[in-house]
Amino acid sequence: MIKPTLSFGNPLRFAKANLAEKNFLAFQHPDKMKVTYLLFAFLFTSLSFETVAQDPVVIAEEGAKGDLDVEPDVRDLSFRERLHFGGGISGLSFGNPTSIGLSPMVGYMATNTTIIGVGMTYQYFAYRGLPASNLIGERIFVRQYVPALSALLGQSFLTAQIENFSDVSNSYASYSNPVLVGIGIGSKIGINLNVMYDLNYSASKISPYGSALVVQVGGFFF
């Protein structure tokens, strides 16, 4: 007689299934579930922070176009926005002769690197032993910012200007018309130092500056 037997299959497989069930139940334990959630939250936060660090967000100023470190094209500005006003002191000379001038000016940004403008000049001029002269002059000028020059001296430019003077205190006096060329150091808005040479200077002519070397300090302020 054959006795019926109960078969539970492979004992090893049964043991593995039982262990897996216990692990699943243990995984669902509230304390271990909290640890698991915290672990996933930490990993998610770390990945998010890494993504933000790799791809920084640039916040532009209101109304700005393009990158903040890129100078906007002045051709996109209105005529009034391309005008700048300023002035300075010119023709400083102490001794014989003594001269000092005040010169308001207005400049127009033709391009991002070129400024053209006009100005008026009042120049006090006196030789020792002679009556002082009060000169009124007009001038036109151009400034050209050159990247190669700026790389050597900081923000700097080439400049040229032509001036015409009249002596309001002596209508018979005649002065040469300076033709100045040189370099300037300074930003487009702010204080500049210009050092120029008068191409029209001659010992046989009366110069309003008294020297071929002319130094001007000033700039555009708004």
Residue 66 resides in a domain: no
List the structure tokens of 212: 């071929």
State the chain's mean pLDDT as an integer: 76
User: Are 31 and 92 part of one and the same domain?
Assistant: no
Which of 208, 185, 198, 197 shows the shortest CA–CA distance to 121?
208
Lowest-confidence range among 42-56, 93-107, 170-184? 42-56
User: Are 39 and 90 part of one and the same domain?
Assistant: no
The span from the CA of 17 to the CA of 71, in Å, is: 70
Q: Give the range of the structural domain holding residue 175, as residue numbers without chain letter.
A: 74-220
> How many beta carbons lie within 10 A of that of residue 193, not counting itself?
15
Count up the domains in the chain and report the number. Answer: 2
In tens, the pLDDT along 135-171 reads 999 999 999 999 999 888 889 999 999 999 888 887 7
User: Are 79 and 184 part of one and the same domain?
Assistant: yes
Residue 145 resides in a domain: yes
Q: 98 with 126: CB under 8 angstroms? A: yes
User: Are 88 and 37 part of one and the same domain?
Assistant: no
User: Are 36 and 79 part of one and the same domain?
Assistant: no
The span from the CA of 202 to the CA of 207, in Å, is: 8
In tens, the pLDDT along 21-68 reads 544 444 444 444 444 444 444 444 433 333 333 344 444 444 444 444
User: Are 158 and 210 part of one and the same domain?
Assistant: yes
Which of 209, 210, 207, 182 shows the shortest CA–CA distance to 196?
182
Q: 124 with 93: CB under 8 angstroms? A: no
What's the pLDDT score for residue 211?
Answer: 83
